[in-house]
Chains A and B, each alone.
Chain A
Amino acid sequence: MRSYSEMNPAAVTVHLMLTACITIFCMEPFLLGISLLCAIAFFIMQNGRKHAAFHIGAIGMPTLFALLNPLWNQHGTTVLFFINQRAYTAEALFYGAVTGIRLAAVLYWFRSFSQLMTSEKLFYLFRFLSPKLALIFSMAVRNLTLFRQQMQRIRTAQRGLGLYREGHLIDDLRGGLRVFSILLTWALENGIITANSMAARGYGIGKRSSFTFFRWRRGDILLLTASLLLGAAVAAGIASGRLDWQFYPTCTPAAHSPVYFAVLTAYFLLALLPVIHEYKEAMMWKRLRQDI
């Protein structure tokens, strides 16, 4: 009984990256619409009702793009009105909206991806390519929180000493700089101690092996194969040119061939995989409980 976020990071990465990359390089409005909806569904599944500000920003983007694009894009033939003697065309409006939707979908996918990839998962992934970089990366992530805490501690310690004069802006600014400066000293010194601690435990003396709790289970392999197959199908469909829309000078949708619908369906499945997975697991749990 594993949720999507607990699956093997490599499988999850391949799946999410495929989904997002297809979104990045495709300009098919329906496909992008599907992508955005599935991305939102996935995001809400992960986060519930939190992050309202992010939703507002991401959804507002298509509108903004749509409204602004015609201002500097003069292509298109259906003129809606003129601004400063420049034509404001329906095609440009539509094109802007599509670009906006694409950006919003990409944002959602990547946001979910960064939420899922905890540092240990990233470490697991990067290690495959480069153990050293993986280590630097995971240390940097850890340092981020450490430094934030230490900065706070230094600031309060200095406040507790009564170093700053009342309502003195320059004094405050200088204080801020000094805090940053000492944080730097501390960070470097602390880094050296950590490096020592690593060397003391034999880091860098020879070939490393690596230990991980992540394994490949059947579900992971299934996810990987499904995403690769579906992804390949969609990519081939896009490459065949059957999904190409003509936006200028007039908007011409792609021809409604069977391939067209097949590709859209394949992409829909690909993007919906996490939701399907989660639903399946929930049903299974329910059935298990009922059987008892």
Chain B
Amino acid sequence: MWTIKSEGVRRILRNALPFAVMPAIVLLLPLGLQEQYYALVSFVMVMLALLLFLSGFERRDLGTRRMILVSVMTALSVLGRLLPVIKPITALTVLSALYLGREAGFLVGALSAVLSNFVMGQGPWTPFQMLAWGLIGLFAGILAKPLKRSRLLLYAYGFLSGFAYSMLLDIWTTVWTYKEFTLEEYLAAISTAFPLTCLYAVSNVIFLLLLAKPIGDKLERIRIKYGL
């Protein structure tokens, strides 16, 4: 069987990998490759960042129930992503983060991205989407207190995260299509995507408007009923 038996070795590998490999790649790659440098480095960096986050959560004990709730919320947001044009993924990620914690938020975001891409089309952009949605969830979890207190802040967060998501993904679009990264091309990519980004941001707010109360109530009920 092909598994690393010792938990200790696994942990060391998980932690050492990102920290040792990331700088190494940044330093060494340019020596070999000139042309694809940006695309490859950004891809590898994002992969490693993802690994870093995910391995962090592997160590934390979420509790069985919370873990299953994460899988439930993930499945729901994937179902939602199959709607035409506008997607409730951000809204559901943010709400999960608010009620189930920041780890849960990250996981719901990142896993929804991979899972829904099995239908929407998997590709090299998947890790970027995972990271983007994961971070949206993570920060929502960190900001849970104020976001729960004020609806207005929550909507603002939804709106801004639409832009943040687009901007992160445009980094990839730029390096992938132009093989290099210049501010000019990045701005061009952002401006082409601008109408869609706006639609995203607005749809996030709409979904939060519609879903914040019912989903919040339900998650709260479950939390009370089962003492999470």
Q: A: which residues have CB within 8 A of B? A: 10, 24-27, 72, 99, 103, 106-107, 110-111, 113-114, 127-133, 135-137, 139-141, 143-144, 146-148, 151, 177, 181, 183-185, 187-192, 194-196, 198-199, 203-204, 207, 210, 212, 215-216, 238-239, 241, 244
- A136-B118 contact, Cβ under 8 Å, with A99-B177, A191-B71: no
- B222 in contact (CB, < 8 A): yes
By CB atoms of chain B within 10 A, which of A114, A130, A144, A210 has the most?
A144
Q: Are B55 and A129 within 8 A (Cβ)?
A: yes
Q: Are B115 and A239 within 8 A (Cβ)?
A: no
Binary interface encoding of chain B residues 136-150 relative to chain A, with 1 for a CB under 8 A from any of its CBs, else 0: 000000000000000
Q: Are A198 and B64 within 8 A (Cβ)?
A: yes
Minimal beta-carbon separation of B178 from chain A (angstroms): 9
By CB atoms of chain A within 10 A, which of B4, B71, B118 has the most?
B71
Minimal beta-carbon separation of B41 from chain A (angstroms): 10
Q: Are A130 and B210 within 8 A (Cβ)?
A: no
Contact residues in A for B14 (Cβ distance below 8 Å) = 129
- A111-B122 contact, Cβ under 8 Å, with A132-B58, A144-B78: yes
Further contacts, 4 of them, CB under 8 A, given A148-B79, A188-B219, A195-B65: A132-B57, A144-B78, A184-B76, A241-B34
Contact residues in A for B72 (Cβ distance below 8 Å) = 140, 143, 187-188, 190-191
- B8 in contact (CB, < 8 A): no
- B218 in contact (CB, < 8 A): yes
Q: B: which residues have CB within 8 A of A? A: 1-4, 7, 14, 32-36, 39-40, 43, 51, 54-55, 57-58, 61-65, 67-72, 74-76, 78-79, 107, 111, 114-115, 118, 121-124, 176-177, 179, 188, 210, 214-215, 218-219, 222, 226
Report Cα–Cα, A204/B33, bound state, in Å. Answer: 46
Minimal beta-carbon separation of A104 from chain B (angstroms): 11
Contact residues in B for A129 (Cβ distance below 8 Å) = 14, 51, 54-55, 58
Q: List 13 A-B contacts (CB under 8 A).
A: A25-B39, A111-B121, A111-B122, A130-B55, A133-B58, A135-B67, A137-B71, A140-B111, A144-B79, A184-B76, A187-B72, A188-B219, A195-B69
Q: Are A207 and B75 within 8 A (Cβ)?
A: no
Minimal beta-carbon separation of B49 from chain A (angstroms): 15
The 7 A-B residue pairs with the shortest CB-CB distance, nearest first, are A143-B75, A139-B71, A110-B122, A195-B68, A191-B72, A239-B32, A140-B74
- A128-B58 contact, Cβ under 8 Å, with A177-B210, A184-B215, A187-B76: no
Q: Are B122 and A114 within 8 A (Cβ)?
A: yes
- A147-B121 contact, Cβ under 8 Å, with A132-B67, A184-B218, A191-B68: no
Q: Are B111 and A244 within 8 A (Cβ)?
A: no
**A220 to B, closest residue via Cβ:** B2
- A136-B111 contact, Cβ under 8 Å, with A128-B3, A184-B214, A195-B67: yes
Contact residues in A for B43 (Cβ distance below 8 Å) = 24-25
Contact of A188 among B63, B121, B222 (CB under 8 A): B222
Contact residues in A for B32 (Cβ distance below 8 Å) = 239
